[in-house]
Structure formats: C-alpha cells, structure tokens
Structure 1
Amino acid sequence: MHFCPSCSNLLLVETGAGQNGETCLVCQTCPYMYPITKAFISRTILKRKEVDDVLGGNEAWKNVDTVETLCEKCGHERAYFMQIQLRSADEPMTLFYRCCNSSCNHNWKEN
C-alpha cells in the first residue's frame, strides 16, 4: 500500500490517469499523482489465524462417559460422548462421539 505524501490518504492505481495515458498512483482527496514507470510486484504472505477446537481438544475428552455405539470408521462398539449446545437455547443439544479405540479416535456427531 502506498499513501499520499501531502494528505496521507491511500493511493489507488488508475490506468490512463497520467498526462500521456500512463498508469498512476492517484489520491482521491487531493490532486496528487505519481506516474508508475516500471512494473512492481509486492507480495505479503498473511499468517493464518489459529482456530480453536470446537470440541475442546483432547483435554475435553478425558472425563466423559462412554456408550455402546458402533464406530463407522473402525467398527469398535464403544465410544465416548458429550453434549454441546451449538445453536440457540430453543434448539436441542448436539451429541458428539469419539471412538474408544485409541488407534482410531474417530470423531462424529449424531445425525
């Protein structure tokens, strides 16, 4: 981003704005123009925001109860479960399951 040296507003790129039809950096509030004479590339790699685990990560599954249900991934017959309110209070809670098989740990929710 480039800013105007006289009024500090953001400069915009406009093609054909110069005296000879060249591309310029133009200020929207004052008459400042800066002709672009050579190509320039500017790249900024943004850092991705860390996303919190909705289910609370592995710590949230330590003290939960188990129930007899079939894991759709490995076929194990027991799974941990917890209820979480995802929608408004007048909607029912959502049931989340995690397979008790430590090599699987597949997560799913009740349909």
Structure 2
Amino acid sequence: MIYIQNYLIIGALLFSIGLAVAVTKRNAILVLMGIELMLNAVNINLIAFSQYDPNRLQGQMFALFVMVIAAAEITVALAIILKIYDYFKNIDLESTSELKK
C-alpha cells in the first residue's frame, strides 16, 4: 500500500524543481515550464489529500479547476511571449525588462 507521505514527497520535489527553474532561468518559456511544474505538484497534493475526504470529490474537483486555470494561463502567457519576441527578437527576460512604446 502506498502511503500519503510518498505523494507529498513527490509533490514537494516537483514544487522545488519548478521553483528552482522559475527563479534561476532567464528564458521566458522555461519560467513558464517551472510554473507548470509547481501547479502540477499542487495537483498531486490535492489528489493525495482528497483520499481522506468522505466523498472524495472536493480535492479532485479543485485539481481539475487548477488544470483549467493553468491551461488558460499558459495560453495567454504564450501569446504574450510571442508578441515580446516579435518586438525584441528574443525572449530573454533580462533584456525585455524595459517595455517602451
């Protein structure tokens, strides 16, 4: 039998990796990938904790809600990154810190 501690350890490792990627990388695509890793770690924890819910629906529904929000977030973020690439010709976050008209 797999205990909840295993899921929490995997969630913590994924969140730590995602946070490290989001903080250390300068590429906008890699930062988005780090944020997605963090959201997936949260989903693993939500599903793991929903096993202790009597009807086991609240954690799973909240995880589904997080997935829908993450999909919308990545769509908008990729559209913004494409516009930034059209303007600056790169997606380095350091060089795009000055947005001018």
TM-score, length-normalised on structure 1?
Answer: 0.19
Between structures 1 and 2, the one with greater strand share: 1
Question: Which gives a bigger RCO, structure 1 or 2 (Cα 8 Å, sep 6+)?
Answer: 2
Question: Whose radius of gyration is greater, 1 or 2?
Answer: 1
TM-score, length-normalised on structure 2?
Answer: 0.21
Between structures 1 and 2, the one with greater helix share: 2
